[in-house]
């Protein structure tokens, strides 16, 4: 049956455009996006995407990759023609597949190497219709084993609003990641106009940016792409690079030790790290906003924030950096203070909050605290991601679609010395991500990343994913920031002990509360000896305990009375 007849049968009315084919670049692009750095650091334990179930959606009757391509052999890739109508293989799906799951080209060569986990291959009209989304039918989208679906097409349709809603439904309800491209040129509403997808462009910016409006919900001008990746001419070959990154992250995310809980969707129970919100947040937070690639794919040197949620409309969050995104995910879930989290979050980290918004006893505020590090070395980067809610109601004359986009904001506050000053914020009304990129972090000051429910809306109950990477502060106790906590640091704290007001990290105010007190001493004591060379004769923390805050106060009082030459106990200990 011809494609035109299939469109009439399915009633989707889709005009599909193939993302044009060009000669492929190879593994160098993968390595320039910091895969090589990750592989060097992890060695044989580097994730390969093994176990990640994936699908590939292509255009035309020859929608299959060439199974005899050397990149799909040794080990052999297992393919399944899920649409069942293929007339053969062709160059475009083959070159996409090489970047997605190729043994030499992809950063996720473990995909499809196990018989029980084949790569599902679809023709786009079948995927949009009876094969999966069930567009134009009085039915919900089918469930699928695929966690990552790579789309090699763009297009338009009289049913664009329905298709976009169904796309967003499967991401939210099934955590089925949909990786899509923005058009190389021209304007198309599908599939990058959906809220919950991860849309991809090119590092050189030679693509169409922004969504195309189809109705009052799916409006024009929202941010697309989400991130960019490397290819000089074709978005088709950047999308599978990000799809591969998602597979690598999903393999990592299955480690139960990284998550504080699980959540259930229509198809399975997954770890918090596996949710669509967390994977998308990790990709966005890990991305680079300035990159010199030394390649034909171009450099990213003109990033400029020009959207309401602090992104660049051409580049989204920036160029894919799998090293950063992996480090964020591997750092583990770190709950907000309101949900029982610790007093400080790590340099890398993320959180998934399944109950937020004020309804059913949930909070409308979530707080994550940290101490400022060297902002000259790295900015604070954070992304907050949540999905639009799509409800599909079936019945005679149906389906009907109901959508709700909650409003969440992301703030950065300086909370040093008991104060509270907003130093950066992201508070858009029409986007479903909020983003911070802040280069003004002051060393040693106390900060709070705060998620809040936007104003002007009733209490709601929804979930979000938050990811961050922050300038790494020195170890509490290291007053002179030489990498060691030793008696020189102890003497600095001793000298300033009891002072308040004009004190900082170098004086021993490690918690940035405006005074050098017992809490600071305990931080120093806990880390005393860290960074010392093995040959250094360093007293243990027990010795410092004997010389605790009381001894400091006693020494200061004695100095007011004693005018002889006999040194104090602390002075003797410091020698």
Residue 89 phi, psi dihedral angles, 5° rounding? -110, 165
Per-residue b or e along 244-279, where b marks 16 or more CB atoms closer than 10 Å to that residue's CB: bbbbbbbbbbeeeebbbeebebebeebbbbbbbbbb
Model confidence pLDDT, tens digit, residues 466-497? 999 997 766 888 887 777 888 888 888 888 89
Alpha-carbon span 186 to 205, nearest angstrom: 14
Alpha-carbon span 470 to 375, nearest angstrom: 8
The DSSP code sequence of 162-192 is HHHHHHHHHHHHH--EEEEE--SSS---BTT
* pLDDT at position 536: 47
Model confidence pLDDT, tens digit, residues 298-342? 899 999 999 999 999 999 999 999 999 999 999 999 999 999 999
Query: What is the pTM (predicted TM-score) of this model?
Result: 0.85
Per-residue b or e along 40-54, where b marks 16 or more CB atoms closer than 10 Å to that residue's CB: eeeeeebbbbbbbbb
* Paired strand residues for 156: 15
Name the burial class of residue 487, with classes exposed (0-12), middle (13-18) and buried (19+) by CB atoms within 10 angstroms of its CB: middle
Class of domain 3-330: alpha beta
Could you tell me if 143 and 53 are in contact, meaning their C-beta atoms sit under 8 angstroms apart? Answer: no
How far apart, in Å, are the Cα atoms of 166 and each of 3, 160, 406? Answer: 22, 10, 18
* pLDDT at position 565: 46
- Rounded to 10 deg, the angle between the 322-330 and 276-286 helix axes is 130
* pLDDT at position 573: 36
* pLDDT at position 501: 83
* pLDDT at position 473: 66
Which residue ranges of the chain lie beneath pLDDT 70? Answer: 1-29, 31, 374-377, 473-474, 531-575
Alpha-carbon span 200 to 182, nearest angstrom: 6
* pLDDT at position 402: 97
**Three-class HEC string of 238-252:** CHHHHHHHHHHHHHH
* pLDDT at position 65: 98
* pLDDT at position 507: 87
Residues of the chain with CATH 3.40.50.200: 3-330
Of residues 123, 133, 130, the one with CA closest to residue 2: 123
* pLDDT at position 20: 53
Of residues 355, 384, 343, the one with CA closest to residue 461: 355
Could you tell me if 169 and 133 are in contact, meaning their C-beta atoms sit under 8 angstroms apart? Answer: no
Q: Which helix (H) or strand (E) holds 434?
A: strand 433-438
């Amino acid at each position: 049956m011809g494609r035109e007849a299939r469109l009439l049968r399915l009633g989707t009315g889709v005009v599909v455009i193939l993302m044009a084919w060009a000669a492929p670049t190879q593994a160098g692009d993968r390595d320039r996006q910091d895969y090589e750095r990750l592989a060097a650091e992890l060695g044989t334990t580097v994730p390969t995407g093994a176990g990640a179930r994936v699908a590939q959606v292509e255009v035309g009757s020859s929608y299959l990759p060439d199974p005899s391509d050397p990149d799909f052999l040794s080990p052999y890739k297992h393919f399944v023609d899920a649409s069942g109508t293929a007339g053969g293989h062709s160059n475009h799906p083959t070159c996409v597949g090489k970047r997605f799951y190729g043994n030499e080209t992809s950063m996720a060569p473990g995909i499809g190497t196990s018989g029980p986990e084949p790569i599902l291959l679809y023709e786009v009209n079948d995927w949009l219709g009876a094969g999966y989304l069930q567009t134009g039918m009085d039915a919900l989208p089918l469930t699928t084993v695929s966690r990552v679906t790579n789309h090699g097409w763009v297009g338009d349709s009289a049913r664009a609003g329905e298709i976009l809603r169904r796309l967003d439904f499967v991401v939210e309800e099934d955590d089925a990641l949909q990786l899509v491209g923005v058009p190389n040129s021209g304007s198309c509403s599908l599939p990058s106009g959906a809220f919950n997808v991860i849309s991809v462009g090119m590092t050189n910016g030679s693509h169409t940016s922004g969504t195309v409006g189809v109705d009052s919900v799916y409006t024009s001008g929202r941010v697309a792409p989400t991130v960019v990746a490397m290819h000089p001419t074709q978005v088709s070959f950047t999308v599978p690079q990000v799809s591969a990154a998602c597979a690598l992250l999903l393999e990592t995310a299955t480690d139960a030790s990284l998550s504080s809980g699980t959540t259930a969707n229509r198809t399975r129970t997954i770890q918090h790290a596996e949710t669509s919100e967390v994977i998308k947040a990790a990709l966005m937070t890990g991305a680079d906003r300035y990159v010199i690639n030394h390649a034909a794919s171009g450099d990213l040197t003109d990033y400029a924030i020009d959207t309401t949620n602090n992104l660049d409309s051409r580049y989204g969050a920036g160029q894919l950096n799998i090293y950063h995104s992996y480090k964020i995910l591997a750092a583990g879930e770190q709950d907000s203070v309101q949900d029982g989290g610790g007093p400080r979050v790590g340099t890398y980290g993320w959180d998934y909050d399944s109950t937020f918004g004020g309804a059913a006893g949930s909070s409308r505020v979530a707080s994550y605290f940290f101490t400022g590090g060297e902002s000259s070395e790295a900015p604070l980067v954070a992304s907050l991601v949540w999905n639009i809610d799509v409800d599909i109601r079936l019945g005679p004359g149906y389906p009907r679609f109901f959508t709700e986009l909650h409003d969440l904001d992301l703030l950065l506050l300086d909370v040093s010395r008991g104060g509270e000053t907003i130093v950066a914020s992201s508070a858009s009304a029409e986007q479903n991500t909020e983003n911070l990129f802040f280069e003004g972090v002051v060393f040693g000051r106390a900060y709070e990343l705060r998620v809040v429910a936007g104003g002007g809306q009733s209490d709601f109950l929804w979930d979000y994913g938050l990811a961050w990477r922050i300038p790494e502060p020195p170890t509490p106790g290291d007053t002179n920031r030489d990498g060691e906590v030793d008696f020189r640091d102890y003497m600095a704290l001793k000298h300033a002990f009891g002072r308040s007001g004009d004190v900082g990290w170098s004086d021993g105010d490690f918690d940035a509360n405006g005074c050098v007190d017992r809490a600071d001493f305990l931080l120093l004591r806990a880390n005393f000896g860290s960074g010392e060379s093995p040959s250094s004769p360093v007293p243990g923390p027990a010795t410092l305990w004997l010389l605790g805050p009381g001894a400091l106060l006693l020494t200061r009082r004695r100095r007011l009375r004693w005018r002889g030459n006999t040194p104090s106990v602390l002075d003797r200990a410091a020698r």
